Amino acid sequence: MKPYSLAEVAQSLGIAHWQKEQVWPSSVIRGRTHYAHAAWHELSSPIDCVSHGRQALAQDDEISQAIGAAHEAFLVWRNWPAPRRGQVVKAIAAQVAQHKTELARLIVLEAGKIESEALGEVQEWIDLCDLALGQSRQLHGLVIASERPEHRLIEQWHPLGVVGVITAFNFPVAVWAWNAMLALVCGDAVVWKPSEKTPLTALACMHLVSKVLHEQGAPAGLVSLLQGDAQIGQQLAQHPTIALLSATGSCRMGRAVAQHVAERFGRSLLELGGNNALIITPGADLALAIPAIVFSAVGTCGQRCTSLRRLIVHESLIDAVCQQLVGIYGQLKIGDPRHTETLVGPLIDGIALQAMKNKIKEAIQDGGTVLCGGQVVIGVPVGHYVQPAIIRMPGQTAAMMEETFAPLLFVLSYRTLAEAIALNNEVPQGLSSAIFTQDQREAEQFISAVGSDCGLANVNVGTSGAEIGGAFGGEKATGGGRESGSDAWKNYMRRSTNTINYGASLPLAQGVHFDVKPDPE
């Protein structure tokens, strides 16, 4: 298959004309593109480092316009019946489905994912629309028993306001969809700041969504896009009109966002770093475990927040497991992700490559032994291609406490399950975890209150590849946020507790007496 180009994909998605004199728009507000020329940066593909032109960066006036337009749209949108809002999201899903292949190919070109993973990410957007459509008829509260006679106590959920969304490069479509589609059915407006590494995918998403919103008669400004760097994220965090700021990225970024939002008593929803572990017990089915380990560790070139970083293997199996993994790693097809046989594409940039090299050196200094990988791949396009690495460690060291966004897997042994769970929980992050066992007691202990302390705790499933029906997120330094399924929709709404007295007297709660009689007329 002939590798496709950005020009071809942009043309098929209808955004080619948005590039004016090699400059891509800095913002999309009220469905219109804007081109700021005060600041910009060069774009290139991680596949071959070929230039994609220049990306203009949004300026202060555009940020104010986007937030103002979103607030105006919210005042109208919140009055639309939720099922009607769900129909708009349904129409978005149909539009995305028509352009699934082209959008996936743009993800490949910008993020370096293999096409199968990129197609899966676009499908995740479509699936999330299905979930949001159903949720639009289930935004229900509670009827609560009142202790007072002739009183009714109820709980309602109302639209929240303007939702800011900051997303990372590794999932430039799915994480945006988790937030935006639920926010829309909940009655909110959305202002999106995507990663500066994947701005064209965001432009394509905005093109598809803006088209649907216009056709459906939704208020202008309901969804806006701001291209830029961390400065825009900081302004979103500090702006009092942003009712909720959902941010996906590093722990460092999340800490700064949380502080700014907390200073103004706003809400933040954080999905931050992961440092995920998988435990192999003596009775594990290795025919299941080995493929799960490989996909979790090297999928998306190790650049998922749920990527496997630490493999904790019982001492009776560690030699056999390492031998199998080294053999499979040696057969992995690394190269241009546009080719169907490729399983591992490039790292996003040279910074990621250098971070991986530095971490390998640190692990060796800590007594680790490199079993395979870590070398730059020769004979592929000019990009940042690396052989996924496995390092056997004498124990859990300082090198393993931080997340390295690369295909780097540390392996260590354990004797008792309690020891393995302690190793799983020892790191600051708490996103994803897994155990492979055929012993029900071990499985139940791992997912119990004394087991894994992560937001995701899987049994006989890898750490990566969550379904949209469950709430996604983690604890500790991962930020505590929950997105996607379950009751994550509640993040995008405000709760109102209502007491209704339909009687002729005024009893107080808790038996309080406060007798005040009005003067007779």
- Give the residue extent of every domain in the chain: 6-36+55-272+480-495, 276-467
Which residues are registered as beta bridge partners of 83? none
Question: Is 186 noted as a catalytic residue in this protein?
Answer: no
Task: Count each helix (H run) and each strand (E run) in the chain, helices first.
Answer: 14, 24
Predicted confidence at residue 453, as pLDDT, reads 98
**Cα 72–481–71 angle (5° rounding)?**
5
What residues does 392 pair with on adjacent strands? 369, 411
162 forms beta bridges with 189, 242
pLDDT digits (tens), the chain, 521 positions: 678 999 999 999 999 999 998 999 999 999 999 999 888 999 999 999 999 999 999 999 999 999 999 999 999 999 999 999 999 999 999 999 999 999 999 999 999 999 999 999 999 999 999 999 999 999 999 999 999 999 999 999 999 999 999 999 999 999 999 999 999 999 999 999 999 999 999 999 999 999 999 999 999 999 999 999 999 999 999 999 999 999 999 999 999 999 999 999 999 999 999 999 999 999 999 999 999 999 999 999 999 999 999 999 999 999 999 999 999 999 999 999 999 999 999 999 999 999 999 999 999 999 999 999 999 997 777 889 999 999 999 999 999 999 999 999 999 999 999 999 999 999 999 999 999 999 999 999 999 999 999 999 999 999 999 999 999 999 999 999 999 999 999 999 999 999 999 999 999 999 999 988 887 66
Output the CA torsion sign for 283, 423, 170, 69.
positive
Three-class SS of residue 329? helix
Superfamily classification of domain 276-467: Aldehyde Dehydrogenase; Chain A, domain 2 (3.40.309.10)
**What pTM, to 2 d.p., does this model score?**
0.96
The active-site residue, picked from 251, 301, 305, 454, is 305
pLDDT at 380: 74
Residues linked to residue 498 through DSSP beta bridges, in sequence order: 154
What is the structure's pLDDT at 521?
A: 64
Question: Is position 72 annotated as part of the catalytic site?
Answer: no
Gap between the Cα atoms of 457 and 468, Å rounded: 15
Question: Under DSSP, is residue 416 helix (H, G, I), strand (E, B) or coil?
Answer: coil
Enclosing H/E stretch for 270 = strand 267-271
Which among 247, 336, 298, 281 has a CA at the least distance from the CA of 49?
Answer: 336
Separation in Å, CA 300 to CA 107, 112, 178, 291, 406:
11, 8, 19, 15, 9
pLDDT at position 464: 96
Q: What burial class does residue 512 get, using C-beta atoms within 10 Å of its C-beta: 0-12 exposed, 13-18 middle, 19+ buried?
A: exposed
User: What single-letter amino acid sits at 205?
Assistant: C
Write the Ramachandran bin of 231: left for phi over 0, alpha for psi from -120 to 50, otherwise beta: alpha
State how far the Cα of 435 lies from the Cα of 281, in Å rounded to an integer. Answer: 8
492: three-class secondary structure by DSSP: helix
Q: Are strands 432-436 and 456-459 parallel, antiparallel or unpaired?
A: parallel
DSSP string, 367-402: T-EEEE--SBPPSS-SS--B--EEEE-SS--GGGSS
pLDDT digits (tens, 9 = 90+) for 109-144: 999 999 999 999 999 999 999 999 999 999 999 999
Give the model confidence (pLDDT) of 291-326 as tens digits: 999 999 999 999 999 999 999 999 999 999 999 999
Q: Helix, strand, coil proportions of the chain in percent (round to 5)?
A: 40, 20, 40
Options 271, 403, 442, 483, the catalytic residue: 271
In this structure, CATH architecture of domain 6-36+55-272+480-495: 3-Layer(aba) Sandwich (3.40)
The pLDDT assigned to 1 comes to: 60
